[in-house]
Amino acid sequence: MEATQITWQTLPAPHLVAPLDLRTSFTSEEFLKIKAGYIPEEMEEKWFIYYADGWLNFHRSWTGFLIYRLQILQLNNEFSVLDSWVNRDPEQYQCVDVVKDREIVMDVINNLLLARAVTPAVENAIKTAPKKTKVDGQITGLSGEFFVAAELLKRDMQTSLTFGNAKSIDIFSYNQSTNKTFNVQVKSLRKKNWFLISPDRIVRNHIYVFVILNLPGISPQYYIVPGHVFLDTPERFYPGLNDPKMPGVSPKQLAAFENSWEVFLN
């Protein structure tokens, strides 16, 4: 299946870009593979790539952000990159090293689009290279729950973590002064990224707290959204919440709800 713009939920080009200055060419056979693009099949796959109107577009699969764009056209008997740029919007992409960006683009083309075999030397280097420690998602989730519980306790709320013993509820919290009980769902990330949340699983009377843990020594960030806000005004979180494959919301879309702890106090 050839990738097209409508295959995936994507965002338009950013306002801030910089020249990538990538110079390379491909054979006709290679270009046919490149032109087919790439459609991710799993959440861990970072790229959605499609070719249209002479341009090869590299989008982040989770966020839809357009990171790289290459103009590839036929020149004599080859298909050459005639123009290229990279996203420099700091809210969408943090890398500012153009040399590294060129390496990333070529790695993606070679590995995902052309599926080139790895040379023995490179394969050996991969096998012997130290593996990066994988972050435990359960620890990340539990850390966020403890941070949220601490914030609620500071506000004199009677609070209890469920530790997975209640379906779709991470924290029970009770406000004695208003006699209200709150069912809280917590979604945590270690750094700013896309929060995955499925709209068909949102519960109207639940409170959703999105936590960015940040590095040690930096305070976590909290975004507090009542379930009914998602259900009554879903367009506030488009594009993202309406993504058919990986629905979610970005910190930018949640900005208006940062530190909205008054939800629990009224």
pLDDT in tens, 176-199: 999 999 999 999 999 888 898 999
**In terms of DSSP bridges, do strands 206-212 and 180-189 run parallel, antiparallel, or are they unpaired?**
parallel
Closest C-alpha among 191, 193, 190 to residue 251: 193
**Residue 175, helix vs strand vs coil:** strand
**What φ, ψ does residue 15 adopt, rounded to 5°?**
-75, -25
* Per-residue pLDDT at 136: 61
Q: Which residues of the chain have pLDDT under 70?
A: 42-44, 116-137
* Per-residue pLDDT at 1: 78
- pLDDT, averaged across the chain: 89
**Residue 203, helix vs strand vs coil:** coil
* Tokens describing residue 244: 């058919």
* Measured CA angle at 25 (ends 20, 29), to 5 deg: 130
* Per-residue pLDDT at 221: 98
Rounded to whole angstroms, what are the CA distances from 133 to 11, 136, 257?
32, 9, 33
CATH of domain 137-264: 3.40.1350.10
**Residue 226, helix vs strand vs coil:** strand
pLDDT in tens, 9-53: 889 999 999 999 999 999 999 999 999 999 987 656 789 999 999
Give the sign of the dihedral formed by CA 175, CA 178, CA 184, CA 190: negative
Closest C-alpha among 234, 183, 232 to residue 209: 183
* Measured CA angle at 170 (ends 167, 176), to 5 deg: 110
- Report how far residue 56's alpha carbon sits from residue 31's, in angstroms, rounded to the nearest whole number: 11
Domain with CATH 3.40.1350.10 in the chain: 137-264
* Per-residue pLDDT at 240: 87
- Report how far residue 204's alpha carbon sits from residue 36's, in angstroms, rounded to the nearest whole number: 42
